[in-house]
Chain A
Amino acid sequence: MKENNKNERMDDKLWMKSMMESARKEPSENLSHRIMHQIETEQALTRAKPKISKQTVSSSLLNLRIFGLMYFVLLITGGYFYLQGGKDALLTDTFLWTCITISSIFSFFFLITTIDNSLRRKAKNKPSASE
Chain B
Amino acid sequence: MKEKLYVEKVLSGNSSAFAYFVETYQGMAINIAYRICENMQDAEDVVQESFVKAYRNLHTFRLESKFSTWFYRIVFNTAVTHTKTKMWLIDEQVENVAEQEFSEFDTDRQIESNETSEIVSHLLKKMPKSYGLLLSLFYLEDNSVKEVAEITGLNDSNVKVMLFRARKMFKDLMTKNYPELYMEELI
List the interface of chain A (C-beta within 8 A of B).
11-13, 15-28, 31-32, 34-36, 38-40, 42-43, 127, 131
**A15–B186 Cα gap in the complex (Å)?**
7
Chain A interface SS verdict (over half):
helix
| Count of CB-CB pairs between chains A and B under 8 Å | 88
In this complex, how many residues of chain B approach chain A with their Cβ under 8 Å: the count is 37
Return the CB mask of B171-187 against A: 1 if under 8 Å, else 0.
Answer: 00010000000000110
List the interface of chain B (C-beta within 8 A of A).
15-16, 18-19, 22-23, 26-27, 29-31, 34, 40, 43-44, 47-48, 51-53, 55-57, 116-117, 120-121, 124, 135-136, 139-140, 167, 170, 174, 185-186
Query: Nearest chain B CB to A43's CB is how many angstroms away?
Result: 4
Given A20-B140, A35-B48, A42-B52: 14 more A-B contacts, CB < 8 Å: A13-B139, A16-B135, A17-B139, A24-B27, A27-B26, A27-B29, A27-B44, A27-B47, A31-B44, A31-B48, A32-B26, A39-B55, A40-B15, A127-B57
Given contacts A11-B186, A19-B170, A21-B140, contact A32 B44 (CB under 8 A): no
